[in-house]
Amino acid sequence: MPEGKLVLITGRSTKQGTGISNGKYLAEYQEATTVLGLSQADMARHGLRDGDTVRLISRYGEATVKCRSEDLPDGMAFMAFGSTINQLVGDETYASGMPDTKGLEIELEKTPA
């Protein structure tokens, strides 16, 4: 993994799942799908604290999200499925129908508070 890049995993989470039912415009879902998880070491490397805002950049797009420390391997970021993270996911499916939903390479920039 090149310096400064992260592997992004997107997936389900409990609050994303309950948020789908309770309402996508309520805080529960919004928070669940706009907060990026990073390892403690990666947070430190980027000088981040829980709740800081970061800009994520992939080949396909950008998104601005909050971040927090989670139990993740270094070099990996996790965020729950949602329209925010889908800004970063490309449309190429390599004739499979399935886009690169997991394992996307992204860059992260701390944004001013």
Among 53, 66, 86, 107, binds another protein (CB under 8 A): 86
Residue 59 CB, nearest distance to another protein (Å)?
11
Distance CA 1, CA 21 (A): 37
Under rule CB under 8 A, residue 100 binds another protein: yes
Distance CA 56, CA 64 (A): 6
Under rule CB under 8 A, residue 64 binds another protein: no
Q: How far is CA 53 from CA 6, 63, 90, 100, 111, in A?
A: 16, 10, 23, 24, 6
Enumerate residues 15-54 that contact another protein by CB under 8 A.
17-25
Pairing state of beta strands 35-38 and 53-57?
unpaired
Q: Which lies closer to another protein via its Cβ, residue 40 or residue 113?
A: 40
Under rule CB under 8 A, residue 78 binds another protein: yes
Among 45, 57, 68, 99, binds another protein (CB under 8 A): 99
Under rule CB under 8 A, residue 90 binds another protein: yes
Residue 93 CB, nearest distance to another protein (Å)?
5
Is 63 in contact with 104 (CB distance < 8 Å)? no
